[in-house]
C-alpha cells in the first residue's frame, strides 16, 4: 500500500511542476505579445508616414521604368 501512495504523490508533484511551467509560459508570452504589438504598430506608423509615402512613390517609379524598358525590348 505504501508504493501506491508514493506513486500518487509523485504524480501530484509532476502535475504541480507542469502547472508552474504553464503559468510561467503564459506570463512570458503575454509580455512578448505586448512588446511585439508595440513594434508592429510602430512599423505600421512608419509606413503610413511621409517616409512610407516616399518609398511607395520610389517603388512605383521603378516599376514604371522597368515596364518601359520591357516595352522597348
Domain boundaries, the chain: 2-72
Residue pLDDT, tens place only, 16-54: 999 999 999 999 988 888 878 887 777 777 666 666 666
Query: What is the three-class DSSP state of 57?
Result: helix
pLDDT at residue 70 tops 70: no
Give the pTM. Answer: 0.45
Q: How crowded is residue 15: how many other Cβ atoms within 10 Å of its Cβ?
A: 10
Rounded distance between C-alpha atoms, residue 14 and residue 3, angstroms: 17
- Model confidence at 57, pLDDT cuts 50, 70, 90, reads confident
Question: Alpha-carbon torsion 34, 38, 44, 47, what sign?
Answer: negative
Amino acid at each position: 500500500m505504501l508504493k501506491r501512495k508514493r506513486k500518487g504523490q509523485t504524480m501530484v508533484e509532476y502535475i504541480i511542476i507542469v502547472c508552474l511551467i504553464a503559468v510561467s509560459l503564459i506570463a512570458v508570452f503575454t509580455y512578448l505579445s505586448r512588446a511585439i504589438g508595440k513594434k508592429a504598430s510602430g512599423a505600421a506608423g512608419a509606413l503610413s508616414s511621409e517616409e512610407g509615402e516616399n518609398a511607395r512613390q520610389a517603388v512605383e517609379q521603378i516599376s514604371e521604368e522597368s515596364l518601359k524598358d520591357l516595352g522597348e525590348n
